[in-house]
Structure 1
């Protein structure tokens, strides 16, 4: 299994904070957001670590090459969307991580458990890690753990991490966003949630980021 960190976005929801710096390099407690993400997946059994880039890519490339030379960069000259970015690098089962969460170190064990569950349940095509004891919900999960997308009743929160079976995106175009796939795989009952005990705060907007930034 490989892992992809989604870092190609424009960071538009951050407003002027990303005028001169890509969102992955914004810092909390003097540590860039992407460093939290990379540290989370260190020592997990991934064959390759990918980071996709687009907006202000040169700055991000320098940081990655200087600090994490083992990481493979997937540069998008024209932005491919979240789905297209995944499809570009995928050649086996893959774990996808957003840059919009403040990752908690203990979530590493949750990812390991989710990978084990995913590998044992081969009929599940896409497994979303969720947390149902939050005060904010953005997904709809049924009693049998099937994700209904788009959500009818929001009762759980996506934790910014999901596992995707190899070949799941073969019939999709080169440029698209992953919610298009989620909608269609949900209709076929191939989209599942995996309950986690750790909440990774969402910090993908200017307001939420400044709440945690020091």
Structure 2
């Protein structure tokens, strides 16, 4: 099974401070490779039918980098739409049915997180399957966990599991949200209320590269993975 992939690349990257003054966060290099190219490598490994990226901050730089690689751009103007609004705006090019979404500010070490989710995805009982990392395997995390899970894999708010930024999502519920600008957290809450929010526990390591301190941590992680 393959699904279309949405890359979230529209944000301002304010946690990166001066590093995003002259470029969008997805183009910051980790181990001499733009962050978004690390994410693209994971996505391409599962042969998706199409890859879409949303853009807003310094969009031409991202378009110049991504379009030659075959990525479809969903530009958000004049306003940035947050994760939920941005995903809904991209649905016409993503197509119908479940999709994979990926944040572009993390480095993974271990099995392909998208393949892990694809192997566990069950649309009969799931509307969202979040790939989550136990806190002890999450490098560079500057706050606590996001979720916990029960013996069936259903996800609940609060706990020691960090959402790693990869999920499979049934996007139909996006059309029930009246706001134009909104977070995917609103959809997750609605899905959770129906007991259809699940998590897949990642067995490897993960690094948050949303802040400058994450860059050397991620580079060390990548070099250890190559050994």
Task: Give CA-to-partner distance per residue, 1:111-153, whole Å, 9 cap, x none.
Answer: 22321321x342200100112262554222232322223x2xx
Listed as ranges, the matches of 1:61-72 within 5 Å are: 61-66=63-68, 68=69, 70-72=70-72
Alignment partner for residue 157 of structure 1, among 159, 162, 165? Answer: 162
Alignment partner for residue 199 of structure 1, among 187, 194, 205? Answer: 205
* 3-state SS, counterpart of residue 158 of structure 1: strand
Aligned to 2:155: 147
The size of the alignment, in residue pairs, is 206
Listed as ranges, the matches of 1:78-93 within 5 Å are: 78-90=79-91, 91-93=96-98
Give the aligned CA root-mean-square deviation in angstroms: 1.9
Greater CA deviation, 83-92 or 29-38? 83-92
Aligned-partner Cα distance in 2 for 1:212–1:112: 21
Would you say the 8 A contact 1:134–1:156 is kept in 2?
Answer: no
Given the alignment of the two structures, is residue 113 of structure 1 paired with residue 116 of structure 2, yes or no?
A: yes
TM-score by length of 2: 0.83
Aligned-partner Cα distance in 1 for 2:88–2:36: 21
Aligned-partner Cα distance in 2 for 1:126–1:101: 20
Aligned-partner Cα distance in 2 for 1:44–1:194: 17
Closer, same or farther in 2 for the Cα pair 1:212/1:141, shift >3 Å?
closer
Aligned-partner Cα distance in 1 for 2:218–2:169: 30
Greater CA deviation, 200-209 or 51-60? 200-209
Task: Give CA-to-partner distance per residue, 1:61-118, whole Å, 9 cap, x none.
Answer: 111134x0x11011001111101111122332110000120133x432x422321321
Greater CA deviation, 56-65 or 168-177? 168-177
Aligned-partner Cα distance in 1 for 2:130–2:24: 26
* 3-state SS, counterpart of residue 162 of structure 1: strand
Would you say the 8 A contact 2:11–2:57 is kept in 1?
Answer: yes
Where does structure 1 lack aligned partners over 5 or more consecutive residues?
none
Would you say the 8 A contact 1:88–1:174 is kept in 2?
Answer: no
* 3-state SS, counterpart of residue 106 of structure 2: coil
Instruction: Spell out structure 1 runs of 4+ moving beyond 6 A.
Output: none
* 3-state SS, counterpart of residue 10 of structure 1: coil
Aligned-partner Cα distance in 1 for 2:145–2:164: 10
> How far apart are residue 211 of structure 1 and its match?
4.0
Would you say the 8 A contact 1:87–1:174 is kept in 2?
Answer: no
Aligned-partner Cα distance in 2 for 1:92–1:103: 26
Would you say the 8 A contact 1:139–1:147 is kept in 2?
Answer: no
**Structure whose residues are more often strand by fraction:** 2
* 3-state SS, counterpart of residue 63 of structure 2: helix
Aligned-partner Cα distance in 2 for 1:37–1:132: 20
Aligned to 2:127: 125
Would you say the 8 A contact 2:207–2:218 is kept in 1?
Answer: no
